[in-house]
Structure 1
Amino acid sequence: MGGRGDINVLVIGSDRIPSYKIGIEQPLRHLQKSGVCRFDVRPDDDVHLSRLAAADIVIFFRTVQSEAYKCLELAREMGKKTVYVIDDHFMAMSPASDMGRYYHEPNKRKTYVKFLKNAHIVKVASGFFAKHLETHFSLNKVVNFPGSVDFSLISGLEKDRKHADKIVIGYEGGRKQAAFDPVIQALSGIIQTYGDKIRIEFFGYVPEELAGKRQVSFKEHDADYASFLKRLFRSKWDIGLAPLEHSLLHDCKTNNKFREYAACRIPGIYSTAPAYEDWVKHKENGLLASGTAEDWYEAMVELIEQPELRQKIVENGERTARENFSVEVCADRWRTQIFMSE
């Protein structure tokens, strides 16, 4: 591998997945602008041998395709550094789900394990996931750091003026029924206690039990990362919710909600799950809540009743996000822990 600016990186996988943008594209684009590397993205089934031969580092992103694995074997034969990047533990997915059925196909399961065993580096975004892979697959080459937040997208934006007479509680994300069950009970109690002093906004998913209540509103998920982040920053949310169920699959997840809420200056309440326990300091840069409705209710009441605590969490959360999740910090981790590692 050459010196500064000579690192040629090939990414194999889909560039349409949101975690590609925040985990790979943003930091690599920063390194490219800084003159550290050049990178290109190719789908699993469209990798020319000449492109593979020209690369110094070949990154395989979330793929379990046998065609992609053949590229890994070729890349290793050519002396290239190979990196397998995953942000989900595919074998922990339920075989009953559509996605789980896909990843539990015998050939795809075998290919997944071969990628884990034979890539030079396995890159994940969760400390728990890293330890699980090291323990259960006997890997000694797992690199762990979270994705990035592009602060340039929200730099200079003004937050919408908050309601003087209302507290706004928000959630952004997909359907997580098991995780939401205690939260739905807690929110129902909050509505009973505070009535029209509360507004609850859902982006992407609204529980059926709460849909239609006069305090509750819903907006569709915004698939464009830039406009999503801007909308989240501009929101009037006083409290952001981040429930996560306890299962091996979810314990291996990364801290997306904490990164986003903290960067957008939203005080968050997070499940006591590995994804958040590694980063959230209770009552400092967020609140942690267990899996009970009572715990979620009490955490919401605490933030509703204590504006000074909300402000403290806003300041500390943003500081944590800028120190740990900026594109510049993420890019430097790629450079030092992956590009320059032996």
Structure 2
Amino acid sequence: MSKVRVLALQRESHVAPGVPSLSVAARVTELLDYLQDRGQIDYASISESDPAATNGVRWADVIILSKHSSTAALQLTQYGRQLGKRLVYDIDDWIFSFPEYSGGRAKNDKTGLILDILENCHVVTVANRRLQEKIRTHVPVTHYVPNGMWVEKYAPSGLPTICKEAIPNRIVFTNADLIKLESSKELLLTALQVFFLKHPQFVLDFYGDPFPEIISLPFLHFTNRMPYEQYMHSLISGSYAFSITPLGAGEDAAASDFNACKNPFKYLNYGAAGIPGIYSASPIYTRCIANMETGILVENSLNDWSEALEHLAFDLSLRERIRTAAFDDIMNRHHVRKSAESLVQTFG
């Protein structure tokens, strides 16, 4: 019996022009890699802007898009529909508008184009229940594909071993787009400036897109975006003491609904890499993190961020407990197996 042939359609980031989408890597190709490794499918990946993309459409039985919003994507879905291909469209956050902090806000509204693409698709998949509820005004019926990590791909021997933490002690911060805080951004920056001034033995490794305030953080070591798999290996090899993940919560009323539709991939990434973390007490993290067990949850206040930084930086036993519990939680509750099983159901 022949295997299902799946085409993953690549695109550039909505918030970092010219850079490949991380959503496609984390939500689509990671799952397809897992399924192909188990002999369940054959898959290929090609950019929507590649002149050979139509060849991929002809080859595939199933075509998967992820938040695509271009004329090229619309034309490819129309072509696929004409050929009788199965079309799946994945959505992992609210794509119909952007908050004030986002670089994607400056782009023209593409809601009409997105809806035209969706009309050609047989199935729309969503990454979380809050998003599934909110998107009903545009797409009444959706299929839930939970987020997942292929843990063994990056940590084949289990919880990554840290013989010794790096000297100087390294903290990691990952952020695509701009800093995802509005009313409390200056408070976070102040907490970081005070902490690193008091403790110059620490440095902050940053992965992601540059943001305007970066010049005020001289202790920050900048690394631009990199492919998802390379990024995961960098996390594991970095011997990081812990991570920080700020995100606006209730104090950012205008952005709170958008933020609630996002996904806790940073927790999944850091947990799989064995890195304990401090996370804003935003709904996407309070839904999956047990405070002081699998992570530290903080209000976006100067006091909370300052106390958490001091606490986790100088309590080795707490870091060890959190990193072990978080790794086990990702393996047991957020493994890619469940995501892949759900995605396969959309293939028809």
Name the TM-score, length of structure 2 as normaliser. Answer: 0.79
Alignment-derived partner of residue 223 in structure 1: 226
Separation in 2, partners of 1:257, 1:33: 24
Once the two structures are superposed, residues 244-291 of structure 1 have per-residue CA deviations (whole angstroms, 9 ceiling, x without a partner) of 124143332221210111111111111122332221111121111122
Taking the TM superposition and a 5 Å limit, the aligned residue runs for 1:10-49 are: 10-14=7-11, 16-45=20-49, 46=51
* 1:40-68 C-alpha deviation (Å, 9 max, x unpaired): 23333546767545533221233212342
Alignment of 1:60 with 2:65, yes or no, is yes
Tell me if structure 1 keeps the 8 A contact 2:270–2:277: yes
CA contact (8 A) 2:245 2:266 kept: yes
Match in the other structure for 1:286:
295
* Aligned equivalents of 1:22, 1:54: Cα separation in 2: 23
CA contact (8 A) 2:191 2:305 kept: yes
- Sequence identity percentage: 20
Whether the 8 Å CA contact 2:123–2:142 is kept in 1: the answer is yes
1:86 paired to 2:91:
yes
- Does residue 214 of structure 2 align to residue 211 of structure 1? no
Structure with the greater alpha carbon radius of gyration = 1
Question: CA-atom RMSD, angstroms?
Answer: 3.2
Letter in 1 for 2:236: F
Q: Return the alpha-carbon distance in structure 1 between the equivalents of residues 335 and 174 of structure 2.
A: 21
- Structure-2 residue corresponding to 1:142: 143
Contact 1:171 1:240 in 2 (8 A): yes
1:201 has 2:204 as partner: yes
Quote the Cα distance in structure 2 between the aligned partners of 1:101 and 1:209.
23
Change (3 A) 1:251 1:305: same
Aligned position for 1:264: 273
CA spacing shift, 1:324–1:53, aligned 2, 3 Å: same
Q: Does the CA-based 8 Å contact 2:205-2:222 persist in structure 1?
A: yes
2:264 to 255, 263, 270: 255
Structure 1 match to 2:124: 122
CA distance in 1, matches of 2:56, 2:215: 52
Q: Distance in 2 between matches of 1:263 and 1:153?
A: 8
Distance 1:97 1:293, change over 3 A: closer
Contact 1:280 1:286 survives alignment (8 Å)? yes
Q: Is residue 312 from structure 1 mapped to residue 321 from structure 2 by the alignment? A: yes
The aligned counterpart of 2:252 is: none
1:49 and 1:281, CA in 2 relative to 1: closer, same or farther beyond 3 A?
same
- Given that residues 145 and 342 in structure 2 are in contact (C-alpha distance below 8 angstroms), is that contact kept between their aligned partners in structure 1? no
- 1-side partners of 2:327 and 2:241: how far apart? 14
Q: TM-score under structure 1 normalisation?
A: 0.80
Does the aligned pair in 1 maintain the 2:147–2:336 contact within 8 Å?
no
Q: Does 1:339 align with 2:347?
A: yes
